[in-house]
């Protein structure tokens, strides 16, 4: 049987957040975007996993306002039988609550590789419908040797160096907003929506460290910019990045990416999560090609639905 418990009880059994988008603080920040927040565990003294999610319009959503959600778990090698038991109880609880749908997007494998595999297997065996998986990309900084391995990318980076570009960490709030505005303009130019305001980013920055970066030319003009979350001590998450039109011939994005990889490697991070390269499951080939030629690994991010 599933129980909807208070935050303190959920945290007692499952104190470690596998990713920040399922943390109590993040869900509280965004609770106005759901009808209510639920914290679900099984009625047992040996809690192995749980689900913190939002309910909106009769649908249980994880996430309801984030790139991905997923489950809390005791450890990565929870037995498949325990996962199946939780899912069966969850389905029964959804029927009891008269929820029309359960929707879960699992995190990329760098957050919980073994557990993800068992959850995906369980979902499929229990009749959940798998949506077209999103292609997601990440960088293994432990393998990055501070040099691009793709020939054309090395050439572009060397061109950027000859253009005497500079990479800067931005600390002034007014400049941070300029970084955000450049990215908004970039998104509008390529037809990709942006769902966070600058104020949203500032609020999220209260939960975990947020880094703002810019690339400038010798005249001080901003040619490219990026915003990253420090998800935890191992993973940095790319929120947004982009360049100005003037940055294209100067190879500002190639310069920005190289400096970002070096920056986070030197800071002791193991991975950079660059997010998905698909829209509704359809690959953005230009974006995917750019990431893959800049040392990124491609993998799948799964979403499942049950009615």
Q: Which is nearest to 126 in space by CA: 85, 77, 79, 96?
A: 85
- 195 burial level (CB within 10 Å; 0-12, 13-18, 19+): exposed
- E strands, 2-100, are 2-4, 36-42, 49-56, 59-62, 72-73
Report the 10 Å Cβ neighbour count for 251: 24
- Find residue 277's DSSP bridge partners: none
pLDDT tens track for 211-265: 999 999 999 999 999 999 999 999 999 999 999 999 999 999 999 999 999 999 9
Query: Mean of the pLDDT values across residues 283-292?
Result: 95
Query: DSSP letter string over 82-145?
Result: HHHHHHHHHHHHHHHTT-SEEEEEPPPHHHHHHHHHHHHHHHHHTTPEEPPPEEEEEEETTT--
- 108 burial level (CB within 10 Å; 0-12, 13-18, 19+): buried
Given a contact cutoff of 8 angstroms between Cβ atoms, the answer to whether 58 and 93 are in contact is no
Output the pLDDT for position 78.
96
Q: Which is nearest to 33 in space by CA: 48, 17, 14, 53?
A: 53
188's enclosing H/E stretch is helix 173-190
pLDDT tens track for 113-123: 899 999 999 99
Label residue 99 by pLDDT band (50, 70, 90): very high
Output the pLDDT for position 190.
84
Query: Mean of the pLDDT values across residues 7-16?
Result: 97
What domains can be seen in the chain, in order of their start residue? 2-130 (3.40.630), 138-301 (3.40.630.30)
Give me the percent of the chain exceeding a pLDDT of 70: 100
Q: Indicate the average pLDDT of the chain.
A: 96
Tell me the longest C-alpha to C-alpha distance in the chain: 65
Distance CA 35, CA 196 (A): 20
Given a contact cutoff of 8 angstroms between Cβ atoms, the answer to whether 2 and 40 are in contact is yes
Residue 193: pLDDT above 90?
no
Q: Which residues contact 206 (CB under 8 A, 6 or more apart)?
A: none
Helices 151-162 and 252-266, packing angle to 10 deg: 100
Give me the percent of the chain exceeding a pLDDT of 90: 95
Local structure of 302: helix, strand or coil? coil
Handedness of CA 215, 218, 220, 222 (dihedral sign): negative
What CA dihedral angle connects 248, 253, 258 and 262, to 10 degrees? 140
User: Do the strands 235-243 and 222-230 form a parallel or antiparallel pair, or are they unpaired?
Assistant: antiparallel
Confidence (pTM) = 0.93
State in Å, rounded, how far the first CA of the chain is from the last one: 19
């Amino acid at each position: 049987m599933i129980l909807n418990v208070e935050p303190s009880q959920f945290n007692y059994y499952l104190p470690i957040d596998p990713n920040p988008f399922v943390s109590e603080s993040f869900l509280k920040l965004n609770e106005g975007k759901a009808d209510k927040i639920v914290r679900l565990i099984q009625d047992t003294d040996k809690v192995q996993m749980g689900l913190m999610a939002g309910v909106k319009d009769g649908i249980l959503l994880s996430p309801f306002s984030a790139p991905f959600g997923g489950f809390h778990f005791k450890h990565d090698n929870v037995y498949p039988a325990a996962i199946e038991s939780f899912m069966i109880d969850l389905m029964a609880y959804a029927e009891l609550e008269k929820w029309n749908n359960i929707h879960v997007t699992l995190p990329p494998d760098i957050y919980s590789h073994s557990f993800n595999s068992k959850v995906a297997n369980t979902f499929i065996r229990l009749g959940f419908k798998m949506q077209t998986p999103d292609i997601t990309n990440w960088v293994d900084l432990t393998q990055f040797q501070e040099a691009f391995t793709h020939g054309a990318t090395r050439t572009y980076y060397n061109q950027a160096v000859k253009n005497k570009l500079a990479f800067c960490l931005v600390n002034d709030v007014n400049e941070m907003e300029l970084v955000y505005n450049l990215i908004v303009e970039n998104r509008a130019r390529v037809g990709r929506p942006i769902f966070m305001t600058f104020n949203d980013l500032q609020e999220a920055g209260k939960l975990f460290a947020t880094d703002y970066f810019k690339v400038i030319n010798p005249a001080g003009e901003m040619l490219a910019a990026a915003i990253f979350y420090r998800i935890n001590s191992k993973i940095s998450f790319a929120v947004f990045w982009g360049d100005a039109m003037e940055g294209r011939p100067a190879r500002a994005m190639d310069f920005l990416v190289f400096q970002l990889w070096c920056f986070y490697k030197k800071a002791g991070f193991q991975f950079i999560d660059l997010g998905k390269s698909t829209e509704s499951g359809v690959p953005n080939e230009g974006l995917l090609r750019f990431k893959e030629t800049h040392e990124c690994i491609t993998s799948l991010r799964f979403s499942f639905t049950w009615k």
